[in-house]
């Protein structure tokens, strides 16, 4: 039986609608959450991401500001800008779009963001809050993964979870969230021995690697839930054939655009997994929805309210 497809677009819409209702309730009390996005220079991919974030703010009623320092900005200039945003009371969330230009000390800039406004959840203080199960800001993509599992009624407690990838942005926080939700968690990386064998133990397999279609059917226990965080672009026709031969819809996209998106999970996994997030339309849409959630959460926490994650409210 083919895997149940976990529809991230639908779940993200649900969360955005909940956030919009929350924003309306806050407006009635005279509060409007505000997000500042700092976009340095002119990287096309970053500009597209930021456009999506600003549009999402408009849709849910969050105030947004885009700050666009030039590509030549120095660490000191960005620190001054962050300090200013930290001081402004109407700004609840500060997001520094990565990557920053090479002359900038990105770690120093991220460390300067007030942890209470750190809607990306990357500040070491928030990392510590997450690992010690204290209230704080949790990174958007990892918490989005948890929302998909919980809203799809996939049990987590007591399950074997394997996370492939140990980045600060995805792998480690996903593993921490799964641990906090009482899964038994294994983290894998490029030095893991017998990766396929370890992955086959998983009831829940999370792929956050950045390698097109690397997780093939021999990595997956029949019936497992597979969450594909990867976002890779296929432009080579031979590679396209290897992954998508016979997929008419994708063939048309490839013909028109010269590229298609693929996750870290090979399409053949749909024949083995019990449930699977598609790419596109799986984890991706959750990232922006959770950014909206985090901005409202920051606005509330800064005003002394405690905010549980949406599906645990």
Give the 3-state DSSP-derived string for the chain, with helices as H, strands as E and coil as C.
CCCEECCHHHHHHHHHHHHHHHHHHHHHCCCCCEEEEECCCCCHHHHHHHHHHHHHHHHHCCEEEEECCCCCCCHHHHHHHHHHHHHCCCCCEEEECCCCCCCCCHHHHHHHCCHHHCCCCCCHHHHHHHHCCCCCCCCHHHHHHHHHHHHCCCCCCCCEEEEECCCCCCHHHHHHHHHHCCCEEEEECCCCCCHHHHHCCCCEEEECCCCCCCECHHHCCCCCEEEECCCEEECCHHHHHHHHCCCHHHHHHHHHHCCEEECCECHHHHHCCCEECCCCCCCHHHHHHHHHHHHHHHHHHHCCCCCCCHHHC
Segment contacting ligand NAP (CB under 6 A): 17-25, 58-66, 229-237, 247-255? 229-237
Q: How far is the CB of 167 from ligand NAP (least distance, A)?
A: 3
Cα(128)–Cα(173) distance, integer angstroms: 11
Choosing from 41, 210, 274, 281, the residue that interacts with ligand NAP (CB under 6 A) is 210
Smallest gap from residue 281 Cβ to ligand NAP (A) = 10
Our CB check for ligand NAP shows the closer of 85 and 143 to be 143
For residues 66-105, which are near ligand NAP according to CB under 6 A? none
Binder of ligand NAP out of 82, 195, 206, 260 (CB under 6 A): 195
Residue tagged active-site, from 120, 203, 228, 264: 120
Structure tokens given for 45: 């991919």
Contact window for ligand NAP (CB under 6 A) among 82-90, 207-215, 242-250, 290-298? 207-215
Pick 73 or 96: Cβ nearer ligand NAP: 96
Rule CB under 6 A: choose which of 13, 190, 235, 259 binds ligand NAP: 190
Binds ligand NAP (CB under 6 A): choice among 113, 164, 206, 272: 164
Among candidate residues 92, 97, 114, 159, the one labeled active-site is 97
Interface with ligand NAP (CB under 6 A), residue from 66, 166, 200, 302: 166
The residue (of 114 and 228) whose beta carbon lies closer to ligand NAP is 228
Smallest distance from the beta carbon of 257 to ligand NAP, in angstroms?
18
Residue 76 is a catalytic residue: no
Is position 142 an interface residue for ligand NAP (rule: CB under 6 A)? no
Residue 26 phi/psi, 5-degree rounding, is -70, -35
- Contact between 165 and ligand NAP per CB under 6 A: yes
CB neighbour list of residue 194: distance below 8 Å, 6 or more residues apart: none
- Within 167-186, which residues bind ligand NAP (CB under 6 A)? 167, 169-171
| Beta carbon nearer to ligand NAP, 159 or 277 | 277
Question: How many residues at the interface with ligand NAP, by CB under 6 A?
Answer: 25
Give CA separation, 131 vs 162, 173, 178, in Å: 18, 8, 11
Quick one: 107 or 189, whose CB is closer to ligand NAP?
189
d(CA 185, CA 145) in angstroms, rounded, equals 15
230 binds ligand NAP (CB under 6 A): yes
The contact set with ligand NAP (CB under 6 A) reads 141, 164-167, 169-171, 188-192, 195, 208-211, 229-232, 283-284, 287
- Which residues are identified as catalytic? 53, 97, 120
């Amino acid at each position: 039986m083919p895997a149940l497809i976990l529809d991230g677009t639908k779940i993200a819409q649900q969360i955005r609608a909940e956030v919009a209702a929350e924003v309306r309730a806050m407006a009635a009390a005279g509060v409007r959450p505000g997000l500042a996005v700092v976009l340095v220079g002119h990287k096309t991919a970053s500009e597209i991401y930021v456009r999506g974030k600003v549009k999402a703010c408009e849709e849910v009623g969050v105030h947004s500001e885009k700050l666009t320092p030039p590509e030549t900005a120095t660490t000191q200039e960005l620190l001054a800008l962050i300090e200013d945003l930290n001081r402004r009371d109407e700004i609840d969330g500060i997001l520094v779009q990565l990557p920053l230009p090479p002359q900038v000390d990105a770690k120093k800039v991220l460390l300067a963001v007030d942890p209470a406004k750190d809607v990306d959840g990357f500040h070491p203080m928030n990392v510590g809050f997450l690992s010690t199960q204290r209230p704080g800001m949790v990174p958007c993509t990892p918490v989005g993964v948890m929302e998909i599992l919980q809203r799809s009624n996939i049990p987590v407690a007591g399950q074997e979870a394997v996370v492939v990838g140990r980045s600060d942005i995805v792998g480690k926080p996903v593993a921490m969230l799964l641990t906090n939700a009482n899964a038994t968690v294994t983290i894998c990386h490029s030095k893991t021995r017998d990766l396929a064998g370890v992955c086959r133990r998983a009831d829940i397999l999370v792929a956050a690697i950045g390698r097109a279609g690397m997780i093939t059917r021999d990595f997956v226990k029949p019936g497992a839930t597979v969450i594909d965080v990867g976002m890779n672009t296929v432009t080579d026709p031979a590679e396209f054939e290897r992954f998508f031969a016979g997929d008419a819809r994708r063939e048309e996209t490839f013909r028109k655009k010269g590229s298609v998106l693929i996750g870290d999970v090979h399409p053949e996994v749909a024949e083995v997994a019990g449930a699977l997030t598609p790419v596109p339309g799986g984890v991706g849409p959750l990232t922006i929805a959770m950014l909206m959630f985090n901005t409202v959460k920051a606005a509330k926490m800064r005003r002394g309210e405690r905010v549980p994650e949406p599906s645990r409210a």
